[in-house]
Amino acid sequence: MFVLIGYAVALGCIFGAYVLHGGNLGVIIHALPTELMAILGGALGAFVVNNQPKVLKATLAALPTLLKGSKYSKARYMELLALLYDILQKARKEGLMSIENDVERPHESALFKKYATVGNDHHVVEFITDYLRMMVSGNLNAHEIESLMDSEIDTHHHEAHAPAAAIARLAGALPAFGIVAAVLGVVNTMGSVGQPPAILGGMIGSALVGTFLGILLAYAVAEPLAGLMEQKNDENGKELQCIKTTLLASMQGYAPQVAVEFGRKVLYSADRPTFAELEGHVKGKK
């Protein structure tokens, strides 16, 4: 919703200012089809050449999510921390082997079913169960698991960053494609120098529309999308860091209620539940 509102404000103000200065929108509309063909066609072709198929696929998958609000909220984080608390509490009371079935078959686990918000998120469940499995095996110490977690989170960040970087590169190239479209218009105009000044003026105006559109698409459309993608990626990584901090605190001997407090402190302040809110949520789920 906010993406569409932002675009409406940006484009409305830009074209509104043009009209208020006495500009004729008909000139832009007349030149729009051919200029967009040159700019968007060239940019799309270069975009395909510049990115591997997996990045193209990830970018197409990420674009629709930008129109939705963030799924990361205080309520989601309370569910996540309450889930971790219940798992660690069960392991503390009944032993690590008691959570083996929950780890191996999370979709059949009563613990994961109780917290459906995060229990149905494949990536979160996989991250939690992979490291719980290592904790159950007892073959790795906290430092080794921390190093492995850092490597996985770093890999996840780079993979998630690829679509944002691709869109950012596209934004950087769009002004150049606008210039290409403008140069083509100038070449066309120079081939018609015998025409009356009114016709030549229209042809030059149409050529300049290419430069305008290239810059507009770059800084009012593509660049904001890349920035929004990057912010969403940061939120995604923050959730994994919360899980990492909680599990490591447990491995170092802290009680479950203290371990989830470690994880809570990692979260961004805007989405972080208070200690009382988290405690009330955990008690309410019992």
Q: Would you list the domain boundaries of the chain?
A: 28-286
Question: What is the reported pLDDT for 198?
Answer: 65
pTM of the model: 0.82
Please provide the distance, in angstroms rounded to a whole number, between the alpha carbons at the two ends of the chain. 37
Q: How far apart are CA 230 and CA 169, in angstroms?
A: 13
Cα Rg of the chain, angstroms: 27
* Per-residue pLDDT of the chain in tens (286 residues, 90 and over written 9): 788 899 899 989 988 888 888 877 877 887 788 888 999 999 999 999 999 999 999 999 998 888 888 888 898 999 999 999 999 999 888 888 888 888 888 888 888 888 888 888 888 999 999 998 888 877 778 888 889 999 999 998 999 899 999 999 999 999 999 988 888 887 777 777 667 766 766 677 777 888 889 999 999 999 999 999 999 888 888 999 999 999 999 988 899 999 999 999 999 988 899 888 888 877 776 6
Cβ atoms < 10 Å from Cβ of 124: 20
